[in-house]
Structure 1
Amino acid sequence: MKRVVIGRCLGAVAMLLGMGALHAAGVQVTDDRGVTVALAQSPQRIVSLLPSLTETVCELGQCHRLVGVDRYSNHPASVRSLPQAGGGIDPNIETIVALRPDVVLMATSSRGVQRLESLGLKVLALEPRSSTDAQRVMGKLGQLLEVPDAQRIWRAIDAGVSAAAQSLPARQRPLRVYYEVSTGGYAAGTQSFIGEMMGRLGVQNIVTPDLGPFPRINPEYVVRADPDLIMIGSRNVQGLELRPGWAGMRALRERRVCIFTPEESDVLVRPGPRMADAARLMARCIAARGAP
């Protein structure tokens, strides 16, 4: 009997010691630079400098941990009241430091990473460009925030994109589409999450894979490709027909142009929790403007 009691006590002690060791280990996440960020515990004060990361934190149910965001983070509505700390290309270092974050979330391409780290701040750099990237980032943020089964959100996103694709009728010949992401002629390439979504919706991207995920496209390239359909945000649409040769393109002649509102564009260009909504927006465009 004594042996049983002693055995149970030793088991309980071992369990407690194991829990203590787990707590002592804290949280470790390797970011897209290959840098392992170690924290004593899951961060309670977070500054996010990329809208898709902001949205993912909130979708994971941890919006309350955000103490600051970039100027473009506007969803969900609750983040609009948070202090703004500049943007990816011009982060406000003083503001970020004053917010006393446990960790700063930003893109690998953002400026200021080394400066923030030199000031003693923890930086987790994540940059989702493809759908695979977005899924991986979802998992890493779930790990950072200690949210179990973060991939359930990704499974819901994937199911939503599939449903949007199934809502469209099959075509004998895929629509040839040009998607302009931002001013300056930056397009969604086939390797981007937008380009991958276009493929799942059954349309053909006029941008060839060798140009990368978000290449800057010469207007003449689009004229030569002569797409059946153009997708573009209202911020970029001004002067579209004045671009050299564009007035004669089929898509403009036949008014096969989908112009997305700023709010819709935000949904479409962010590789995060609203990707299923983005697929539905694109499917609606294809159904409305893609008919022969």
Structure 2
Amino acid sequence: MKNILFALAIIFSANINAKTITDDYGRVVEVPEHITKIYAASPPLAMSILAFNPDLVAGLNSSFNETQKKYAGSAYNKPIVGGFMGQGNTPNFEILASVKPDVIIMWARMRGYEKILAKFEKMGIPVLLVENESIYSIITQFELFAKLTGDTARADELIAYTKKSLSLIESLKEELSKQKEVRYYFAQGLDGLSSECEGSFHLEPFKYAGAKNALDCRMSSNYGMEKISMESVILSNPDVIVAMEKTFTDTLLQNPQWKNLRAVKEGKVFTVPSTPFNYISRPPSFMRLLGIIWLIDSFYPSLLEKSFEDEKKEFEALFFPQLKESK
């Protein structure tokens, strides 16, 4: 391991053609002038690179499945490096050394990031700390990729769509004022008894969809997936249930504890789409932009001028141009 670190340090320190980038935490970092490979230390950031340009992906946090293959494009067969994915996961440094990324990006709010940052820096690979506190951070990430690669045209079109999606609920404010506010329960896990509390960034799409969390709870960690008692769900009696697992929604009517909830009785139970990637979370990615539109369409039918299917086609054409190549 020490030999690998030493060898990489020589390789990267020998890079004469360099430029400086100021990251989101004010660190001035020297990076190569010509960047073709970026490694992201956590899935949300890796997804942002995928959206910007799959060719830039140096290594993966986890593998794609067969359904995701055409969406992943050239990133599909990249080596599995691992990364920060919660619950103590860390990258594989030997594999990272073998893929030789030009730069690493990582979120500074991940627990234990300081130790990993020190290891990355010993390898001689420049590291940029980026913000990932909200959906809006996607904009600054795309701006960063433009600075690193010079591809401002790609950044501009992705940023324009991002701003449009995030401002959608504001444009619908007058129409929404005539609607009853929707109270939701976000059901995670096979039993539906894991959820998110106020302050969790996993709930951001719901905020941009103009809905209110029916639960009154507090988050205990950034990872989320808080355990919720059935009694708390019954007392909250949400207007709608948004579930992450189809297995859970398929069994609701057979479960006496769930079937008497208002949302179940009225048929207002929605399963989050997950093709090619989850629209809401796990990981919380650029797919949330489409997730916001899906939520508005689910909560307030006929409120949007464009059909959801048309919106989905526009989204996929923009974020997955590699789909054309796979046909």
Q: Same fold (TM over 0.5)?
A: yes
> SS of 2:121's equivalent?
helix
Q: What's the counterpart of residue 81 of structure 1?
A: 77
Instruction: Find 1:71's aligned residue among 59, 62, 65.
Output: 62
Q: In structure 2, give the amino acid aligned to 1:48.
A: A
**1:272: Cα distance to partner?**
4.3
**Are residue 230 (structure 1) and residue 241 (structure 2) matched?**
yes
- Residues 214, 238 of structure 2: 8 Å contact kept: yes
**1:197: Cα distance to partner?**
3.1
Q: How many residues align?
A: 264
**1:42: Cα distance to partner?**
4.3
- Residues 154, 273 of structure 1: 8 Å contact kept: no
Alignment of 1:158-169 (within 5 A): 158-163=163-168, 166=172
Q: What's the counterpart of residue 17 of structure 1?
A: none
**1:103: Cα distance to partner?**
1.6
Instruction: Find 2:264's aligned residue among 252, 265, 269.
Output: 252
Q: What's the counterpart of residue 139 of structure 2?
A: 135
Q: In structure 2, give the amino acid aligned to 1:234.
A: E
Identity percentage over the alignment? 19
Q: What's the counterpart of residue 104 of structure 2?
A: 104
Question: 1:168 & 1:95 partners in 2: Cα distance?
Answer: 53
| CA displacement, residues 236-285 of structure 1 (integer Å, 9 cap, x when unaligned) | 72776899954543223433211124326623225544333212222333
Cα distance change of structure 1 residues 229 and 153 upon mapping to structure 2, 3 Å threshold: same
**Are residue 218 (structure 1) and residue 228 (structure 2) matched?**
yes
**Unaligned 5+ runs, structure 2:** 1-15, 302-327
Question: 1:176 & 1:253 partners in 2: Cα distance?
Answer: 15
Tell me whether 87-96 or 236-245 shows the greater mean CA deviation.
236-245
Cα distance change of structure 1 residues 142 and 284 upon mapping to structure 2, 3 Å threshold: same
Q: What's the counterpart of residue 21 of structure 2?
A: 28
Cα distance change of structure 1 residues 53 and 79 upon mapping to structure 2, 3 Å threshold: same
Tell me whether 186-195 or 91-100 shows the greater mean CA deviation.
186-195
| CA displacement, residues 7-65 of structure 1 (integer Å, 9 cap, x when unaligned) | xxxxxxxxxxxxxxxx9660313245x544321424322223434323322433x4323
CA RMSD between the two structures: 3.8
**1:223: Cα distance to partner?**
2.9
Q: TM-score, normalised by structure 1?
A: 0.71
Q: In structure 2, give the amino acid aligned to 1:174.
A: E
**Are residue 179 (structure 1) and residue 186 (structure 2) matched?**
yes
Question: 1:105 & 1:235 partners in 2: Cα distance?
Answer: 33
Question: 1:121 & 1:185 partners in 2: Cα distance?
Answer: 42
**1:180: Cα distance to partner?**
3.7
Cα distance change of structure 1 residues 245 and 51 upon mapping to structure 2, 3 Å threshold: same
**1:228: Cα distance to partner?**
0.9
Question: 1:243 & 1:117 partners in 2: Cα distance?
Answer: 53
Q: TM-score, normalised by structure 2?
A: 0.64
- Residues 272, 279 of structure 2: 8 Å contact kept: no
- Residues 104, 124 of structure 1: 8 Å contact kept: yes
Q: What's the counterpart of residue 44 of structure 1?
A: 36
- Residues 233, 265 of structure 1: 8 Å contact kept: no
Tell me whether 75-84 or 140-149 shows the greater mean CA deviation.
140-149
**Are residue 279 (structure 1) and residue 284 (structure 2) matched?**
no
Question: 1:182 & 1:35 partners in 2: Cα distance?
Answer: 39
